[in-house]
């Protein structure tokens, strides 16, 4: 039996909770937060039926984006996702294909946090 059983919450630090709420709710289409407590610096979104939550927290002084952490989310089509994000004004890199493994695309929230979307490789 494993000591840890899954991911409950992945927390992303941001400098503006209102702007972050709008980006994650509307641009990334995560819907309404399940917890919305800006007075304590915490907004939480349910992410998918069988996965943990994503929370937005008020950044501490001296904060820098990501600090070495990247959240990778599943998508049906990295190329279509990249186009949609760009159409919504999101900074988005070109998709990267690792043959027979994964296709992924990096994109950035308004605070510079790098996020990624990935798909399984298409049949050859």
Structure confidence at residue 36 as a pLDDT band (50, 70, 90)? very high
The answer to whether residues 111 and 27 touch, using CB atoms and an 8 Å cutoff, is no
pTM for the predicted model, two decimal places: 0.86
What is the DSSP track for 11-54?
EEEES-HHHHHHIIIIIS---S-SEEEGGGTEEEEE-STTS-EE
CATH number for 1-63 (one of 3.30.720.120, 3.90.79.10, 2.40.280.10, 3.90.1300.10): it is 3.30.720.120
Confidence (pLDDT) at 6: 76
Q: Cα–chain-centroid distance for residue 44? A: 12
Confidence (pLDDT) at 49: 73
> pLDDT (tens digit, 9 = 90+) per residue, 39-88?
999 999 997 777 788 999 998 888 888 777 888 999 999 999 999 999 99
Structural domain boundaries in the chain: 1-63, 65-124
The CATH number of the domain covering residues in 65-124:
3.10.180.10
The answer to whether residues 92 and 85 touch, using CB atoms and an 8 Å cutoff, is yes
Distance CA 96, CA 106 (A): 9
Confidence (pLDDT) at 123: 46
């Amino acid at each position: 039996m494993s000591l840890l059983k899954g991911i409950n919450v992945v927390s992303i630090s941001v400098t503006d909770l209102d702007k972050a709420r709008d980006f994650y709710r509307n641009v990334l289409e995560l819907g309404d937060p399940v917890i919305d407590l800006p007075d304590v610096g915490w907004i939480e979104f349910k992410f998918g039926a069988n996965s943990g939550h994503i929370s937005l927290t008020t950044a501490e002084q001296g904060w820098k984006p990501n600090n070495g952490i990247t959240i990778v989310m599943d998508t049906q089509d990295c190329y279509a996702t990249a186009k949609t994000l760009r159409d919504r004004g999101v900074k988005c890199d070109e998709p990267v294909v690792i043959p027979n493994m994964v296709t992924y695309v990096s994109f950035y929230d308004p605070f510079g946090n790098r996020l990624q979307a990935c798909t399984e490789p298409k049949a050859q």
